[in-house]
Amino acid sequence: MKKILLFSFLTYFISLGLFAQSLELHNAYGPVANGDTIVMATTLLHQTQVMQIDVKNISSSDVNVKVKKTELSMVSGSDAYFCWASCYAPSIFISPDPLTISANTSAPNFTGDYEDNGNAGTSWARYTFFLESKPSDTVCFVIKYIAGSGVGIDDASPKVEVSNIFPNPASNKVSINYDLNGANNAQLEIRNILGAVVKSVEIINTNGQVSIDVSDLTNGVYFYSFMVNNEAVKTTKLVIQH
């Protein structure tokens, strides 16, 4: 019995270390949960949309942090880029140099910027912050950019109804309920923290439930996107924990 209890405690503390998170995100309204989506919208074109985020180091030691941009779905001709210490061109997806953040200190003035360049529609970009010494220690958020006259938040994507993925955390299989409401060409995608698609399934029926086997994925944080006509209508964090 003592050996079983010792093994249980060791497993518990190892799991805490595996999923420990050194960074937090905050905006003007307060904390931003890991994987959250923030919506920005303008009815005008040729506008620069700017979302500011503060990155806080909640660990007890200084850390070197880099950021990765993942373009989940972009309107043709538009540009997403970021500024953090320096502003980088849209062709830069990972910050070349890390930013050192002291223990229990926030690094302000990160911005995820968007230029519609006169093209109306909705674009999605995810920004993932990670420790240079431990790339698996991450925190991220998604920005949904809406631009163009007559394009409102309610009209930006098909009237698709999508549930949260379940179970979450997951170990063997995940499922999601949906109703396409007349839309077509839909997929469910799962991406790793670097933005690579690791699982994908085509949606055949107009409504129902779709499932994906995740038993072969390693423990960690992933993101699932429900795609309709190549646009992500829902993107949220998924934790795999066997």
CATH of the domain at 216: 2.60.40.1930
pLDDT of residue 221: 77
3-state SS, residue 24:
strand
Percent of the chain with pLDDT over 70: 87
Amino acid occupying residue 59:
S
User: Of 232, 238, 73, which Cα lies nearest the Cα of 160?
Assistant: 232
Q: Which residue has the higher pLDDT, 39 or 11?
A: 39
The two structure tokens encoding residue 176: 């999601």
User: Of 185, 170, 188, 193, which Cα lies nearest the Cα of 229?
Assistant: 185
Question: How confident is the model over 181-196, as a mean pLDDT?
Answer: 82
User: Of 130, 66, 74, which Cα lies nearest the Cα of 99?
Assistant: 66
Is 2 part of a structural domain of the chain?
no
146 and 213 together in one domain: no
> In angstroms, rounded to a whole number, what is the distance separating the alpha carbons of residues 172 and 227?
22
Q: Is the pLDDT of residue 12 over 50?
A: no
Q: Identify the domain containing residue 221 by its residue range.
A: 161-240
142 and 68 together in one domain: yes
Percent of the chain with pLDDT over 90: 48
Q: Are 88 and 81 in contact (CB under 8 A)?
A: yes
The single residue listed with the structure tokens 């989506």 is 37
38 and 145 together in one domain: yes
Number of domains forming the structure of the chain: 2
